Amino acid sequence: MTATLSSNTRPNASFNIDNSHLKSLTRIDIPSRLLLGPGPSNADPAVLEAMDRQPIGHLDPAYLALMDEVQELMRYVWQTSNRMTLPVSGTGSAAMEATLANSIEPGDKILVCINGYFGHRLVDMAERYGAEVSSIKRDWGEVFTLDELRKAMETHRPQILALVHAETSTGARQPLEGVGDLCREFDCLLLLDTVTSLGGVPLFLDKWGVDLAYSCSQKGLSCPPGSSPFTMSDRALEKLSNRKSKVANWYLDMSLLANYWGKGRTYHHTAPVNMTYAIREALRLLADEGLESSWNRHQATAEYLWDNLEEMGLSCHVPKEYRLPTLTTVRIPEGVDGKAVTTKLVQEHNMELGGGLGELGGKVWRVGLMGYNSRKENVDKFIKAFKQVLSEV
């Protein structure tokens, strides 16, 4: 019996969209760049090799074993024993939103400390979940003191305190000693942005009393973007379990995801299998190097960069005491077109340098030396090209 198409399903040969120009497209060809901006960083070749495998089912026993390994590795790199530790299927902003979606109910008070672009993003997200948001501010590139945080806590009495540990827009590292104890004194959860610090900057979530944290795959972990570390302490899980309303974001609801990443292995969504291969290998490489060795490498490479910049007569935006080793903001000299410099570096040297963001737009360049890219030979390549471009603009 021959199947025939009905008039409702028969293809119409008269297309409204002309695709003739699409037939001339060749296979994808991506230029090779040295990525020294705020992220992504270049992926480790071993990570790309791991990623370049056929996917398997997201409930395959081999994949479930990989999930366990990823969780264990994430606990190590964050120095936490949190059982709710997993990679969110999405970029770092998805993990960022997951911390707020799961910890906020309408009317909850949250205090956000703003000293850069990503503090503002936390405010925007928190407001969308119905939080009563308060904030304290410092100039972009500065950090908050423990006394300032205490006064703000006494004034606002929040249920959540949100801090950016590594502010990607400024290159500043927020000190955390004593902040967790302060939050417990005020019965408050501590939420931390570690997007630009995980893997390259000392992090001790349990020791510091951090309750919620998020990061990304494409910076210190040297993995393509798309699989983002997320963790919740038992204190945060207790707040989640006592909610009066459902988490307002189904995709990021940890009470549902726990059944997939926990013992139940209940289907929730189709996990990005190849990204799990990639982040598992990235985390394995970091564990193989050792956290302390990685932190020391990032610090040594950054100081080598800072010395070279000083020899060129350039200054960094953040005082050395609070400067991130993963990302350096360099002040653009008066009379220099910062955008022209970044453009020439890409076009003539296949090298990415970041421009300023938000209030620092046009005022600084952002140099990222993260993960696989944090090597002195990359600093040498950058300085050589940077000097040449500066002499030409």
| 37 membership: H or E segment, kind and range | none
Give which of 118, 161, 105, 116 is closest to 142, Cα–Cα.
116
**CA distances (Å), 145 to each of 191, 322, 323, 342, in order?**
17, 12, 15, 34
Six-digit token string for 351: 């090298």
* CA 278 – CA 53 distance, rounded (Å): 10
* CA 92 – CA 182 distance, rounded (Å): 27
Give which of 188, 174, 111 is closest to 144, Cα–Cα.
174
**CA distances (Å), 155 to each of 135, 176, 371, in order?**
11, 20, 40
Strands of the sheet containing 84-89, edge to edge, are 84-89, 227-232, 212-214, 189-193, 160-164, 109-114, 132-137
Residue 347's Cβ-side half-sphere holds a number of Cα atoms within 13 Å equal to 7
Instruction: Tell whether residue 366 is among the known ligand binding residues.
Output: yes
Instruction: Please enumerate, by residue number, every residue annotated as part of a binding site.
Output: 366
- List, as residue ranges, the binding site for substrate: 366
